[in-house]
Amino acid sequence: MITRLLRRVARTISDMNYAQRRVATLISAPDRVAPDHAKAPGTYAEFLYRTSGLLTHEPSAARRARGQLVH
């Protein structure tokens, strides 16, 4: 009973940690602050600038096979 509760609390904390990291990544993304962020980049240099922010990594194939979702 206590073990299940601790696992649930740990899972909740893990989810909140992921959400916080994701929000920080999205807020600090260069593409978000660009004045014409809805349009496609006009040059290759602009494309590189827009994609220069932090990228989230997906889990390995083995972890995906065990059911971990791609974030």
Q: What is the pLDDT of residues 48-70, one digit of tens each?
A: 887 776 666 667 778 777 776 65
> How much is the pTM?
0.53
* 70 within a domain of the structure (yes/no): no
* 52 within a domain of the structure (yes/no): yes
Q: How far is CA 58 from the centre of its chain?
A: 9
* 28 within a domain of the structure (yes/no): yes
Count of residues for the chain?
A: 71
What domain range is 7 assigned to?
A: 2-65
The structural domain count of the chain equals 1
5-62 pLDDT tens trace: 999 999 999 999 988 988 887 787 777 776 777 788 888 988 888 777 666 666 777 8
* 55 within a domain of the structure (yes/no): yes
* 25 within a domain of the structure (yes/no): yes
pLDDT at 51: 76
* 27 within a domain of the structure (yes/no): yes
pLDDT at 9: 95
Could you tell me what percent of the chain has a pLDDT over 90?
A: 25
The candidate with the shortest Cα–Cα distance to 52, out of 35, 28, 36, 70, is 28
* 71 within a domain of the structure (yes/no): no
